[in-house]
A and B are shown apart, each in its own frame.
Chain A
């Protein structure tokens, strides 16, 4: 068994085990931590196949941003998971039934699987190029339209979030840094001559 195979099994087993723990852990914070473990191990799997860029993106985006966001949400929203799970047993049979139907349907689909013969299964990695360079070449030439369109989708999402959540309240005193910096001794301090034995 080569080293790569050993690592493949290591990463796979840890990924699957932590994925199971995500849904079975009692404490939601532990769930998120196991999710992070699953992401990191999936990144390891990407590394083994030579897709180092995807591996780094997975770590940066999913572990660095998404999972931490989850953690914040879980900690701050204080969701009562015990209450959420209350009706779980009650709905279990019907859920199992739906799951079973979908499973049978999917098996029917997979059963007739025939990959289109003209489809190139995977684009061969150019030997003289790094992942990033190869991705950049298609992303900004061949797929420039789709890339820009995706940019507009994100822009719209941002506008939407601002429109729906930003409240401009009147009568709120905001920090104005320029004003603060422009304060001088003359405008900020008043020197009072207090006569002795008269109080202020």
Chain B
């Protein structure tokens, strides 16, 4: 066993977040006031320091530390970078919004830091116990932030619903984990893979299905998506933005790692599960969103659909597939953050509005915002040459290479259906009679919207950095 300091060097981003969260908590407690004050900025500094540690630590050789519980590799670094970026941007965008909505609590940024710590631990988990603890740390923080606006009945309902269903899914995950441990005799992913060999028995399959049920809940893929629309609609918008961005990265990352490192010997068993989830999510994400009038609810169905597309790459089970998933998640993150920057700035006379009809005529009342938002919608729909198209391209190509032709075909068909409701928003913004104009958005919201939109628009000029990083990340799993 290495010395503790050597092992901690591999977990430097986690250590920074853990210490930072405790220090922030102490500062908050000793300030003796409930309001947010400088806490959001301090939390951003902590998350930023962890992001720097992830980026600078990228050259380290991969390492498995803490007695097989924790793995530090470039796949983890890639996904951790995405998670941290999501949390930082959400915090930067949310400060003013929460203050205006009367939910001004210093615990919110601390809970975001703790949730991000859970995500990082989840991404780096190399065994079932570490996976469960990371997942619980992330979920517990998310349950609380979902209900943080506790005087609002809808937010409380969202928090309670998410908590009850989340606890149930944790139970299923634990049941699956115990079965896996019972039949494989090991909690580490490598140990499980070695025990399964090429012949998984019934107990292992049983455990695998339950484990995926728990993970699918966190990814919000069909049939474990029921909580998503209600929670997205009920929670305060910054919280919804957070739900849609950072935790998804961690959930997809850990699912990918589990599949690739623990079940390489049970391909046909996990593949049918993942293929079903991908198909059902793509279909539901496309059809159920058509009738929505609330933009947050629409984004919930949109995220379910996008998770389905990401799972197409995972279903391929190849290195190209994992690369596709990594690219997809990165582009999805940028699109989601940009879209939520626009949704956060939907305010009329200081009051937040969230109907799609409130966007009517945006192209005339605020041409820049209308244009950027429209570009993001095109990208979410997957219109070439925007980045969203390339994201889908990589996962569908991986599926075709893995001979999952019909999965790719259905994916393309459902994305054509999904394009309808994204384009409807563009139509509402450009061709409908103007609704009351929005207030001027905050600087960070404008910057996030413009940067993400331009990044999606100009991605095709220079995609190499992202694609290469994703390729390196995928390679480290094989």
Binding site for B on A (CB under 8 A): 105, 108-109, 111-116, 118-120, 141-146, 148-150, 152-153, 155-157, 159-160, 162-164, 168
Contacts and interface: CB of A to CB of B under 8 A. Distances in A.
A159 B203 contact: no
B130 interface: yes
A154 to B, nearest CB: 9
Contact of A159 (B134, B144, B179, B206): B144
A111 B86 CA distance: 47
Contacts of B34: 168
Nearest to A167: B150
Contact of B133 (A113, A120, A150, A157): A150
Contact of A109 (B1, B70, B136, B202): B202
B349 interface: no
B16 to A, nearest CB: 14
A70 B179 CA distance: 29
Interface string B133-157: 1101100110110011010000000
Nearest to B7: A145
Given A115-B182, A116-B185, A159-B110, A144 B66 contact: yes
Interface in B64-115: 65-67, 69-70, 105, 107, 110-111, 114
Contacts of A150: 133
Nearest to B25: A159
Contacts of B195: 116, 118-119
Interface in B105-133: 105, 107, 110-111, 114, 117-118, 121, 129-130, 133
Nearest to A113: B203
A160 B133 contact: no
A141 B1 contact: yes
Given A159-B25, A164-B147, 5 more contacts: A105-B206, A114-B201, A143-B69, A153-B136, A159-B144
Give the interface size class of chain B: 35 or more
A152 B114 contact: yes
A153 B117 CA distance: 10
Nearest to B34: A168
6 contacts: A114-B201, A119-B195, A145-B130, A146-B66, A160-B141, A164-B147
A110 to B, nearest CB: 8
A170 to B, nearest CB: 11
B477 to A, nearest CB: 21
B4 interface: yes
A82 to B, nearest CB: 24
Contacts of A149: 121, 130, 133-134, 137
A155 B23 CA distance: 13
Contact of A142 (B67, B114, B121, B150): B67
Most chain B CB inside 10 Å of its own CB: which residue of A116, A141, A142, A157: A116
Given A144-B4, A156-B137, A156-B141, A163 B185 contact: no
B184 interface: yes
B149 to A, nearest CB: 11
Contacts of A120: 185
B111 A153 contact: no
A137 to B, nearest CB: 12
Contact of B140 (A112, A146, A148, A157): A157
B186 interface: yes
Contacts of B182: 115
Most chain B CB inside 10 Å of its own CB: which residue of A114, A142, A143, A160: A160
B340 to A, nearest CB: 23
A145 B203 contact: no
B133 A109 contact: no
Nearest to B194: A118
A44 B65 CA distance: 38
Given A152-B114, A153-B137, A146 B201 contact: no
B185 A146 contact: no
Contacts of B69: 143, 145-146
B174 interface: no
A112 B202 contact: yes
Contacts of A115: 182-183, 185
Contact of A112 (B67, B118, B144, B201): B201
Contact of B137 (A109, A152, A168): A152
A153 B110 contact: no
Contacts of B159: 164
A142 to B, nearest CB: 5
8 closest A-B pairs by beta carbon, nearest first, are: A119-B185, A116-B185, A160-B144, A145-B66, A149-B133, A112-B202, A156-B140, A163-B107
Contacts of B107: 159, 162-163
B53 to A, nearest CB: 17
Interface in B152-184: 159, 179, 182-184
Given A116-B183, A168-B34, A159 B4 contact: no
A48 to B, nearest CB: 23
Most chain B CB inside 10 Å of its own CB: which residue of A112, A116, A156, A160: A156
Contacts of B148: 163-164
B132 to A, nearest CB: 9
B118 to A, nearest CB: 8
Nearest to A146: B129
B141 A146 contact: no
B356 interface: no
Contacts of B186: 116, 119
B412 interface: no
B466 interface: no
A163 B107 CA distance: 7
B202 A108 contact: yes
Contacts of A142: 1, 67
B179 A109 contact: yes
A101 to B, nearest CB: 14
Nearest to B182: A115
Given A116-B185, A156-B114, A164 B144 contact: yes
